[in-house]
Structure 1
Amino acid sequence: MFVIDTIGFWNTLVPLAALGLLAVLLPRVLVDRETRSHGKLLHGIALTAAFLVAIGFMISIAVTQMRGFEAVGHFEIDPLGAAWVHLRLSLMTAIVWAPVLGLVWFGQAQGVEARRGQDIAAGDR
């Protein structure tokens, strides 16, 4: 086990900002803008969350490698231990991107309800 001891611009702010930005942009790509289904919206949000965890995992590897720890070599020595460390670090970033993703989800859910209301008002239902 290793400890990442300092918080800095390149090892903290940039990765968290990138994940926050992806939490805003990915749902716009993965969810149909004209959907009237909360199920499809939920599927897109869950897929976005899975992508963010995977991207956070890769960012964790890159940051620890950049900090001087042989992260790739750690996978050769103890693959499960290394995967657990980076998965845990990736999940810790959810404290930043999860609320952002929640707000995006809420906004898109309002759009779903607005489109449903327009369909009912137009008599399409």
Structure 2
Amino acid sequence: MFVIDSVGFWNTGAPLVVLAILAMLLPRMLVERETRSHGKVATGILLSALILFAVACGLSLLLVYLRGAHALAFGSDGRTGPPLQMHLRLAAMTAIVWVPILGLVWFGHAQGVEARRGQDIAARER
């Protein structure tokens, strides 16, 4: 296991804040505002999750690079497997922050879909 650094604001707090903000903003950009489809909402949320995971991997690579190490070649044998696995694992660990936020955003979008559907039904019944 590779030890990168101790926990601090710039190597832990700031990346988590960036991911939390992205978890709130990405679905707003990827899901149609007036959609009446839960499928479109789910697709937007899943795409947001993939993007967030990729951003988390990128942040992990960037933090290692900023410390002066080559982010994918820690060993003398030049294999990138173990370091890449480390970055994927670190990216997965950040999900503890952005998955609950993404879940709440999904819930909000789903409520909006149901409200618009209810308005459509009420308008048809008049």
Q: Which runs of 5+ in 2 are unaligned?
A: none
Give runs of ≥4 in structure 1 deviating > 6 Å.
none
- Can you list the C-alpha shifts for 1:65-111, whole angstroms capped at 9, x where unaligned? 22333214449922222221111100100000111111101111100
Give the match for residue 88 of structure 2: 87
- Can you list the C-alpha shifts for 1:32-64, whole angstroms capped at 9, x where unaligned? 011101011000000000000000000000111
Q: Which runs of 5+ in 1 are unaligned?
A: none
Give the match for residue 54 of structure 2: 54
Amino acid corresponding to residue 120 of structure 1 in structure 2:
I
Worse overlay, 68-77 or 24-33 = 68-77
Whether the aligned pair in 2 keeps the contact of 1:65 and 1:72 (CA below 8 Å) is: no
- Write the mapping of 1:34-45 to structure 2, written as runs, cut at 5 A: 34-45=34-45
CA distance in 1, matches of 2:99, 2:81: 26
Whether the aligned pair in 2 keeps the contact of 1:15 and 1:59 (CA below 8 Å) is: yes
Whether the aligned pair in 2 keeps the contact of 1:53 and 1:91 (CA below 8 Å) is: yes
CA distance in 2, matches of 1:26, 1:111: 17
Amino acid corresponding to residue 15 of structure 1 in structure 2:
P
Percent of pairs with identical residues: 57
TM (normalized to structure 2)?
0.91
CA distance in 2, matches of 1:57, 1:51: 10
Secondary structure at 2:69's aligned position in 1? Answer: coil
CA distance in 2, matches of 1:118, 1:72: 53
Over the residues paired in the alignment, what is the CA RMSD in angstroms? 1.8
| Structure showing the higher helix proportion among its residues | 1
Amino acid corresponding to residue 58 of structure 1 in structure 2:
G
CA distance in 2, matches of 1:110, 1:2: 43
Report how many residues are paired: 124
CA distance in 2, matches of 1:27, 1:5: 32
Amino acid corresponding to residue 62 of structure 1 in structure 2:
L
Structure 1 residue 5, shift from structure 2 partner: 3.9
TM (normalized to structure 1)?
0.92
